[in-house]
Chains A and B, each alone.
Chain A
Amino acid sequence: MTGIWLFVAAFVVGGLICVAGQLLMDLTKLTPAHVMTILVVAGAILDGLGWYDPLIKFAGAGATVPITSFGNALVHGALAETGQYGVLGLITGIFEVTSAGISAAIIFGFLAAVLFRARG
């Protein structure tokens, strides 16, 4: 996908992943935390099957921004370092790719707590 179509694909695919999450919340008795957990595990499994990368190629941020990509990125990190360290690479590499999301969330979450006060 290139140009304007990549934006359309990002919007539609990202939106549909969110709809999947919404339907899980509304049509089952699962809590939001359970739904998020399911989506992350689904992302990991889809990557294991080799289906998530094609989705990223097709939809760009539509596939990398939803939380499913977190599961995908964890698997990618784990597998990337097996080349160097064998099976131990699964452990050493697991956070390799997801560092951006987790580190940023900790740092900016902490800063938000320092700078702002809770509302409501």
Chain B
Amino acid sequence: MSVKTGIDQKRYQAFLKGRQPVRPWFKNSVRAFFTGGAICLVGQGIQEVIVHYYHISEKMAGNPTVAILVMLSALFTGLGVYDKFGQWAGAGSAVPVTGFANSIASAALEHKTEGYVMGVGSNMFKVAGPVIVFGVVAAFAVGLIRYLLTHV
């Protein structure tokens, strides 16, 4: 019996080989490069407009730029466009801050039927939560090390 299942295992592995989808990492990377780059390009454009309109430095314009990109992302998520785009763009749509906003907006939309408090409110950060948690913990650790190095 055990011999037979051993053979079955081998045959199964052989069967799987060639049938499992090979991830087209090169094609995906090219797509991610151009879509992610394009989103950053749009961001740079928005930033330049803010710099000229409010007469502030590039550095100061970074935050309002992020806010506008997030707003656009939430809008396109609501219209159902961003998720379709994301299927094609992969990390190119997920890594920019628009992907962060998309994960929040789409979780909110998806759980709307469960009500605003238990649905929207409690599921909004289902995907974005880990990013914030680990970001804050890492930033605290890094900040503490930097602080100790300069003050002790």
A90:B140 contact, CB within 8 angstroms: yes
Q: Is B34 an interface residue (CB 8 A)?
A: yes
B146:A60 contact, CB within 8 angstroms: no
B100:A62 contact, CB within 8 angstroms: no
A75:B139 contact, CB within 8 angstroms: yes
What 0/1 readout, one digit per residue, does chain A (31-48) give for beta carbons within 8 Å of chain B?
Answer: 011011101110111011
A7:B44 contact, CB within 8 angstroms: yes
B44:A6 contact, CB within 8 angstroms: yes
A94:B139 contact, CB within 8 angstroms: yes
Contacts of A61 in B (CB 8 A): 40-41, 43-44, 46-47, 62, 65
A101:B66 contact, CB within 8 angstroms: yes
Contact of B43 among A22, A27, A64 (CB under 8 A): A64
Contact of A112 among B24, B44, B67, B78 (CB under 8 A): B78
B108:A109 contact, CB within 8 angstroms: yes
B104:A37 contact, CB within 8 angstroms: no
B128:A18 contact, CB within 8 angstroms: no
Q: Is B142 an interface residue (CB 8 A)?
A: yes
Find the residue from A14, A47, A118 having the highest chain B CB count within 10 A. Answer: A14
Chain B residue at minimal CB-CB distance from A72: B139
Chain A residue at minimal CB-CB distance from B96: A65
B138:A45 contact, CB within 8 angstroms: yes
Find the residue from A10, A22, A77, A99 having the highest chain B CB count within 10 A. Answer: A22
B142:A47 contact, CB within 8 angstroms: yes
Q: Is A54 an interface residue (CB 8 A)?
A: no
What 0/1 readout, one digit per residue, does chain B (103-114) give for beta carbons within 8 Å of chain A?
Answer: 011011110110
Contacts of A74 in B (CB 8 A): 135-136, 138-139
Contacts of A48 in B (CB 8 A): 142-143, 145-146
